[in-house]
Structure 1
Amino acid sequence: MTTVTITTATTTGRTPMRTEDHGLSHDLRHHGDAEVRDDGSALVDLAVNVRADTPPPWLRARIADSLTGLAAYPDGRAARAAVAARHGLPVERVLLTAGAAEAFVLLARALKVRQPVVVHPQFTEPEAALRDAGHTVDRVLLSATDGFRLDPAAVPEDADLVVIGNPTNPTSVLHPADAIARLARPGRTLVVDEAFMDAVPGEREALAGRTDVPGLVVLRSLTKTWGLAGLRIGYVLAAPETIAELERAQPLWPVSTPALAAAAACVEPRALAEAGHAAHRIAADRAHLVAGLREFAPEGLTVAEPAEGPFVLVRLPNAAGVRRRLRDLGFAVRRGDTFPGLDDGWLRLAVRDRATVNSFLQALDRALVASA
């Protein structure tokens, strides 16, 4: 078992303290789909961060049209060019992948790094991929006491690979782009997971498309906003030499023809406009959810705020019991204790439409009473 070093963040500007974590108590391979998949009954899904009612009909039609070309090997040139144009980049700075998760595996296997650091709490696949590739991983643990905000000084200077999410899953924190850019150093690869950035109105604080930040690697996913988790499509934006290294580590034809068709469709102006409207709708639905959750403050529930992603992180007494009771009432939510930096007092809730949120809040009221 690989030893993971825990790096405790400080605000003093001194080198962060490191302590050993031999227990590796967090299940890095647990994801929200397990909350729904593990029960034979039909659950209202607040555990998976995929936009409801997707993919839209026009996108399903584009994917279906691509099926007539399945006899030919996939040709990613048109989709790659479309993604490059969407971000104002040359195609040499774009790599299409089978979802953002494949990109984490490529980074872990292809790049020659000695001191990788993952900023937690965040999506656990980057650390899992690094560990599977034989790396010892340092962690920078952000604190709930200051809203899980990033202090760039907390990242060790000797880190030659730093991974951070923005907005971060599961905390829903949107870090300032300037703060993340301050992590860049000569000789360091800075990986920013922007899988949920298109759910932020205006994509403010995005680094995708930037070429002035040394060592920057931005990961994007098309599975969240467009409901394509089963199709597996995402992409990497980075310097041409980094893209070339990652591409050499890919198998032949890694992205299927239907996924390539989806990639090209999802970066067209019409799709970008639809995603922009969806981001504003998600923000309004999230505000409704947060307002309802605040009503449970007397019961000890607190919301990690400000939330900027399509999900909300909450802390509450007996969260594990509440989660089980919610399942009995027909709602699946994401446990938080599999994320480094969190314990079993946390739950992550995906943002849904107001009617679903209202039903959930009623169920939460009953679950809190039953678990008291």
Structure 2
Amino acid sequence: MKIYYYKSAHGNFGDDLNAWIWDALLPGFFDDNENVRVSGIGTIITSAMPPAKKWYVFSSGVGYGYPPANFGDSSWETLCVRGPLSAEILGLPKDKFITDGAALLNTLTEFKPLSEAERKGVIFVPHHHALVTGQWEKVCQQAGVEFVNPQSDAKTVIQKIRNAKLVLADAMHAAIIADAMRVPWVPLITSSQINTFKWLDWTQTINLPYRPTVLGSSSLREYLRDKSLCIYGEKYFLPDSDVEFAIKYFKKQRELKNKKWWGRYQDVTQLVSHRIPNKGVKVVEDVFNLNLNDRFIDNASRILVNAKSQSGFLSENDKFNSNLDRLLNGIDRLSKCK
């Protein structure tokens, strides 16, 4: 039985933790048999999933595209999905969602939550896409907040979260892991690419609202990229959205992107609206040694300073522990599937 998860070319801690958490939970259980697969932590239930004779779904989520064409037939067993929005899209009953599987980090000795007295400092964990054109390390330096690179080793990032007093989270798994470590977290938005559907899918499982603070862009190139996202279908942030609207928007976008012409359209519009302007600005900055980002850095820094003064969100202990017990029961069921 082999774990399936998304592997970013540059690394992303929320996905990369799949490489070792399952062996820690079920030592010696998994192998490289690709005939039997387990979909792990992440937004990975899509048509890109590889074929297998048997699939087990455990705490995975929906957020992009359609599931495999044969999803739900006898070759699939869904132990649980991440949240109610994933369950709705997949046509599953309500008892089939629990919460994101990263909550299971709480059960590992290496990541045992620390007392408040043992924790210190405020950290900011951006979405890995924010590193492409952003200047978030400079924003953090100006705001007096520790910048944590989401492409760093997963255990290093998790320990940073575990030891913080407050986590400012653009990356959803920064908030999920902070909640698992019982560390307050503040949801932030660096761009319209942050996926409201995914965040609601998780926050609904811990009975908390999703009310993110919009940071805006940290550079001119990031600003231009953000404004182009809606043109080529990468805008996922839905301000003040409720669950019903998020589901409707997801279905509408999914249907649009399944059109035969969409791939070509996306390639052309992304080239014209993002890649060429982005390259042009970078060339101008480099050739003329210009700094076009100070205004963006100053503005984002002011908002980040305000964000670090917030008390943050944290799920109720009873709700968190109830979800954790259900996940552990699911792990026990998975252990009997081999």
TM-score (norm 2): 0.30
Higher RCO structure (Cα 8 Å, ≥6 apart): 1
Instruction: Name whichever structure is richer in strand by fraction.
Output: 1
Structure (1/2) with the larger helix percentage: 2
